[in-house]
Every structure is written in structure tokens, then in C-alpha cells.
């Protein structure tokens, strides 16, 4: 295969991956089926930001977050945060959905700008489900490393910890 065909194949495989990612509303519905969503802007005070950073074990990348509350039959089912962060040289956006029990309900990548080889598979993301914000929520403990994509794994782990910490500060 000549280099032009290889480049076209790589481009098309990357385009297919981007197309396979769920849109924001699809990701919300995957995490909270049959719910309605209410968008809430969150502006942590310095004390709230410090608390979230201590819980997450790292810095918050900003002081504005949007929470999507999931409601069903008049009861709050959980909250999702969309976390945009740099992986290696490009950005990724992940939805971190937290149930009312304070455990991860779903982690879903909705935008990934790195090469497709570094993207996490659904099965790998599935290991986040049911996890709480504790000492086990780390690579090589509750979360298996992502072979060949350590930066992606760390970025998603950090985003998950931030989402759980924000949930605890605002809803826990």
C-alpha cells in the first residue's frame, strides 16, 4: 500500500472513531435513561475549590463547571459533569456521571482529538462504573492501566476523580 493510501486509511479510521463517539445528550441518556436534564452552572468559591481539589487529589483546571442534573419522577437520579482536558498534545472531553449514591455511574468520552490508537475502548471505560472516590480509584488498583495509552488513562482517571469531588462538594 503506498503512503497516500495509508494516510487516507488513517484519516478515515480516525474519522470513524470521532463519528462513533456519542453526542452530549446521547451520553447523558446512556448514563441516566428516561431522565430529563437540568443544566446548572457551578462557580466554586475558593473554599469549595480547595475542598474539591483535596478530594480529587489534584488541581481543578478552572472555576466554572456545568452540572447536568438527571431527574426522573421528581427525584434527582444523579449528576453529570463534562470535563475537557489535555491528554498529550490535544484535548479530550469526558462525561463523568455520578449517581445519588456518590458512585460513578458512567464515564464516557464524547470528544477525542488524539490519534485513534490512544482512545479508550468501551470495555476499559466500564471498569469505572460503581467506583467511589477513595484510595482504590487509581491505576493499578481498581482501574487497570490502558496499554499504550497511559496518558489517556491518567487523564480519564483524573477527570473521574474531579467529577466525583465536584459531586461531593455540591450534592454529597
pLDDT in tens, 89-124: 999 999 999 999 999 999 999 999 999 989 999 999
Given pLDDT bands bounded at 50, 70 and 90, which one contains residue 2?
Answer: low
User: Given this model, what pLDDT does residue 30 score?
Assistant: 97
Could you tell me the strand order of the sheet in which 104-112 lies?
36-42, 65-72, 75-86, 91-99, 104-112
Q: What is the domain extent for residue 18?
A: 3-170
pLDDT at position 10 over 80: no
Q: Give the per-residue pLDDT at 20.
A: 80
Q: Cα separation of 53 and 47, whole Å?
A: 10
pLDDT of residue 8: 39
- pTM of the full structure: 0.86
pLDDT value for 103 = 98
Grid coordinates given for 148? 499504550
Q: Look at the chain and report how many structural domains it folds into.
A: 1
Beta pairing partners, 38: 69
Amino acid at each position: 500500500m503506498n503512503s497516500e493510501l495509508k494516510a487516507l486509511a488513517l484519516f478515515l479510521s480516525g474519522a470513524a472513531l470521532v463519528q462513533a463517539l456519542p453526542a452530549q445528550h446521547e451520553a447523558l441518556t446512556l448514563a441516566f435513561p428516561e431522565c430529563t436534564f437540568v443544566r446548572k452552572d457551578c462557580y466554586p468559591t475558593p473554599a469549595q475549590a480547595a475542598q474539591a481539589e483535596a478530594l480529587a487529589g489534584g488541581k481543578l483546571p478552572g472555576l466554572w463547571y456545568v452540572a447536568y442534573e438527571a431527574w426522573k419522577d421528581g427525584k434527582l437520579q444523579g449528576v453529570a459533569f463534562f470535563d475537557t482536558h489535555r491528554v498529550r498534545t490535544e484535548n479530550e472531553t469526558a462525561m463523568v456521571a455520578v449517581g445519588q449514591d456518590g458512585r460513578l455511574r458512567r464515564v464516557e468520552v464524547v470528544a477525542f482529538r488524539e490519534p485513534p490508537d490512544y482512545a479508550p475502548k468501551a470495555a476499559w471505560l466500564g471498569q469505572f462504573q460503581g467506583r467511589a472516590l477513595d484510595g482504590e480509584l487509581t491505576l493499578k488498583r481498581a482501574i487497570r492501566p490502558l496499554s499504550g495509552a497511559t496518558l489517556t488513562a491518567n487523564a480519564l482517571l483524573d477527570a473521574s476523580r474531579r467529577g466525583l469531588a465536584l459531586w461531593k462538594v455540591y450534592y454529597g
